[in-house]
Amino acid sequence: MAIDVLSTIFEQIRDAVTQFVQHSQAWRDQIADDSSAHPVDQEDQDTLNSLKEVEAYLTKDVQDPALTNLVDLEDVIKAVDGHLMKAKNLYSVLAGVSQTQEAKNQESTARQSLKHLIIVMNEIRSRLGPNLFLIVMDALVGKGPQKIGNTTFPEVTRDEFKLTQRLFDRKRFGLDDEKTIERLIDSWETVIAFFVDKNKVAPSLKDPDAINAARALVEAQFFTVHGLLELLYDQLEANRRTGIDILSPII
């Protein structure tokens, strides 16, 4: 991949990260300004402090790395993905912490920036290579229910695979049949369960460097699949609001 293309992709990541960090910091600053009249309990304050650390890591992730090849860019993506996952978890914990209208406004802006960053990262991952989620799902089509551990997960059918593929392709179609949606989501749960079960660090590995490398690969693939699943849910929600029939010829 040409260096100018790598730089363009990196700039998209950096811009989205910078925007999110700025808005997230502004939200935290507003909560601090409000704290004299609206104190924050210690647990929420600890979470806010953790969020500040994550913001700093995200900023560091996009501080002008030397991009000479695709591997360098993938390193940036892995770093941002890891810290983005932590930010999402912290934002879930901080729901309801804003006490004033000013803080609520800042929170809304920060959450929109977080969502935008997630979308940017998902789109970039889908452009850089094969869709790992679809690869796993395709391998499960027609293989029947999957028994993983003590749980049996539903079969993945070709219809569910095709619907998933259309969602990844950003196709716009009405999807309001609840049974179809339930089966579709069940099939995604099967994919995730199968993926997690099959992607573990081999117990036979003894060398610490090999173990660390294998663990890093597993974590990177998990973040990739999780990001693709987030994208699917976003597309599913968008298509549930679309009034076009699911079998419409205009698709």
**Is 66 part of any domain?**
yes
Residue 151 DSSP class: E
Q: Are residues 124 and 15 in the same domain?
A: yes
First to last CA, the chain: 32
Residue 156's domain comprises: 133-240
Q: What is the pLDDT of residues 52-70, one digit of tens each?
A: 999 999 999 998 777 766 6
The tally of domains found in the chain comes to 2
Is 50 exceeded by the pLDDT of residue 164? yes
pLDDT above 80 (res 5): no
Dihedral Cα 13, 16, 22, 25, nearest 10 deg = -80
Does 216 lie in the same domain as 164? yes
Of 76, 93, 128, the domain-final residue: 128
**H helices of the chain, where?**
3-34, 42-61, 70-93, 101-128, 132-140, 158-168, 178-198, 208-240
Is the same domain home to 74 and 138?
no
Q: Which amino acid is at 102?
A: E
Task: Judge if 76 and 192 occupy the same domain.
Answer: no
Mean pLDDT lowest among 163-172, 179-188, 190-199, 204-213: 204-213
Sorting pLDDT into bands at 50, 70 and 90, what band is 247? very low
User: Rounded to 5 degrees, what are φ and ψ at 242?
Assistant: -90, 130
Which run of H or of E encompasses 148?
strand 146-148
Q: Does residue 115 sit in the same domain as residue 174?
A: no
The answer as to whether 221 is a domain residue is yes
Q: Specify if 247 maps to a domain.
A: no
Higher pLDDT, 195 or 31: 31
Domain final position from 128, 161, 195 = 128
Same domain, 29 and 123: yes
Residues 62 and 151 in one domain: no
Q: What is the CATH number of the domain that holds 66?
A: 1.20.1440
Task: Tell me if 228 is assigned to some domain.
Answer: yes
DSSP one-letter string for 180-233: HHHHHHHHHHHHHHHHHHH----TT---HHHHHHHHHHHHHHHHHHHHHHHHHH
Asked if the model's pLDDT at residue 109 lies above 80, the reply is yes
Domain C-terminal end among 128, 162, 194: 128
Give domain status of residue 72, yes or no: yes
* Same domain membership, residue 152 and residue 42: no
* Percent of the chain whose predicted confidence (pLDDT) is above 90: 47
* Mean of pLDDT values over 94-108: 93
**Bigger pLDDT: 77 vs 245:** 77
pLDDT score, position 53 = 96
* Residue 250, domain member (yes or no): no
* Same domain assignment for residues 91 and 201: no
Q: Please state whether the predicted TM-score (pTM) of the whole model is above 0.75.
A: no
Whether residues 121 and 143 fall in one domain: no
Residue 245, domain member (yes or no): no
**69 and 170 share one domain:** no
| One domain, residues 121 and 148 | no
Q: Quick one: pLDDT band at residue 160, thresholds 50, 70, 90?
A: very high
Q: Is residue 248, in this structure, part of any structural domain at all?
A: no
